[in-house]
Amino acid sequence: MAAACRLGLGGAGLALVGWLDLVGCSAGQSQPLQAVVLSIGDGDTIRVRQAGRSLTVRLACIDAPELAQSPYGAAARTYLRQRLPLGAPVTLDVHSTDRYGRLVAEVIGEINLGLALVEDGQAFAYRRYLEACEGRAYLDAEFRASRHRFGVWQEPGGIPRPWEVRRQRRS
C-alpha cells in the first residue's frame, strides 16, 4: 500500500504540519504511524493516541453513511466498533489532513478497516478522493458489496450517498 502524506490543509491544521514533519511525514515521503484506538466517532471517524497525543482520524478513501441516515449510519459505527475495539493497536497510513484538521489516513488493524467497511456494505468508495488510495481495490469491494446486497446496498441502487446528504443539508 503506497502512503503519500499529501497535505491539503486549507485554513486548518497548520500546527499539524510541524508535527507531521517530526514523525517523518513531509512532501514526497511518509512513514506509517503506530497508534492505539481511543474511541469511534461514526462509521468513518476515530480518535487515537499516537506518541502521547490524541488525534482525530478520518478514514481515507471511504464515506460512511451519516448517523442521521438511519439505520445505516449507526450500523456503520457499530461495525467499526466491533472491528476496531478500544485499545486496539492500529497503523495509520496518512494521506493528508482535512479542512477540519483531522488526519486523513487508511487505518490498518488486522486488516484495512476502510476497505472492510466498503466490502461489507457499510460505506461507499469515496470517488472524489480515491486517487490517494488503491482506488481499484475500493471500487471492486464496492461492486462486490452491491452485487451481494450487503448493508447500504439492501436498497436497490444503494441508499443516498453521504456526500449528497451533506450537500442537501448545507443548501
Give the residue numbers marked as catalytic. Answer: 58, 66, 102
Q: Cell numbers at residue 92, please? A: 495509520
Which SS3 state, helix, strand or coil, does residue 56 take? strand
**Distance between alpha carbon 80 and the CA centroid of its chain, in Å?**
11
Report the alpha-carbon distance of residue 75 to residue 70 in Å, rounded. 8
> Which DSSP category does 128 fall into?
G
Report the alpha-carbon distance of residue 94 to residue 112 in Å, rounded. 13
Backbone angles phi, psi at 144, to 5 degrees: -65, -40
CA angle 114, 117, 120 (to 5 degrees): 145
Cβ-proximal residues to 128 (8 Å cutoff; 6+ apart), any chain: 163
Look-up of cell digits 478497516: 113
End-to-end CA distance of the chain: 37
